[in-house]
Amino acid sequence: MTTKYAARRKTRLKLVPQRKNLLRAARWFGIVLLALWLGAALTLVGLRWADPPTTVVHVQRRVQAWIHQTPYESHYRFVPLSQISPELQHAVIAAEDGRFYLHHGFDWHEIKIAAEEDKEGVRTRGASTLTQQLVKNLFFGTGRSVLRKVAEASLVPVAELVLGKQRILELYLNVVEWGPGVYGAEAACRYYYRGSARSIGRQQAARLAAILPAPRRRRPERMNSYSTVILRRMQQMGW
């Protein structure tokens, strides 16, 4: 018994430093995560007044092009919301987040529908709001993970609180990816239609909104069916 007791005690003594190291590592990991979250939250506060020079998605695409040794040219010009056609604003809301002005960052109605469709294996649409998509574009890129979703969800209320709906819409329309190297409404309008975001028409706006779910694969001129759906939604919403 004495020998067994001594062996167990020796094993416990060996485990103590290992546990301390794990606790120390976990504590530092938590501190780093908190610091990153605070940095992102403070950035959102700053974005109430300042326009972002870039986003994580922009950087991600540039790095991907460098890794794969493919040509890359970035088109990005930030313009005030007043210089973006109401038709394009309405088309994007109708296409991506029809309840944008009714929710506080999360559309629980759409989340419920998406969850039910997942159970039935017939998922037809996403449930991310413009606020969620903005936070993802700014800080997280296009990757998917549980940790990213948790961090994104924790920042969405901050964005809604400090930015407000109009600034969220302005930021989203200016940073969202609209094609290979094409970011924002002004760049998209000039790239696809050789015009400004201020002068874009209703039909063109619907076609641009239609490519947002897959901007690197879709082209506005091919969006006949979905742009018609978007135009119908706009009309139903009083636009």
Are both 63 and 25 inside the same structural domain? no
How many domains would you assign to the chain? 2
Are both 21 and 126 inside the same structural domain? no
Are both 170 and 209 inside the same structural domain? yes
With a pLDDT cut of 70, the percent of the chain lying above it is 88
Are both 59 and 2 inside the same structural domain? no
Are both 10 and 75 inside the same structural domain? no
pLDDT tens digit string along 50-80?
Answer: 999 999 999 999 999 999 999 999 999 999 9
Q: Which residue has the tokens 């400004």?
A: 196
Considering the chain, what is the average pLDDT of its residues?
A: 90
SS3 annotation, the chain: CHHHHHHHHHHHHHHHHHHHHHHHHHHHHHHHHHHHHHHHHHHHHHCCCCCCCCCHHHHHHHHHHHHHCCCCCCEECCCCHHHCCHHHHHHHHHHHCCCCCCCCCCCHHHHHHHHHHHHHCCCCCCCCCHHHHHHHHHHHCCCCCHHHHHHHHHHHHHHHHHHHHHHHHHHHHHHCEEECCEECHHHHHHHHHCCCHHHCCHHHHHHHHHCCCCCCCCCHHHCHHHHHHHHHHHHHCCC
Determine the structural domain holding residue 59 and report its residue range.
53-236
pLDDT tens digit string along 97-152?
Answer: 999 999 999 998 888 887 776 666 554 456 799 999 999 999 999 988 888 889 99
Are both 2 and 31 inside the same structural domain? yes
The yes-or-no verdict on residue 16 having pLDDT over 80 is no
Q: Which pLDDT value is given to residue 52?
A: 97
With a pLDDT cut of 90, the percent of the chain lying above it is 74
pLDDT tens digit string along 38-50?
Answer: 999 999 999 999 9
Are both 12 and 119 inside the same structural domain? no
Tokens of 38: 């605070």
Are both 225 and 146 inside the same structural domain? yes
Q: Which pLDDT value is given to residue 123?
A: 45
The yes-or-no verdict on residue 11 having pLDDT over 80 is no
Are both 3 and 103 inside the same structural domain? no
Are both 22 and 100 inside the same structural domain? no
pTM over 0.85: yes
Are both 42 and 57 inside the same structural domain? no
Q: Which pLDDT value is given to residue 116?
A: 74
Question: CATH number of the domain that 103 lies in?
Answer: 1.10.3810.10
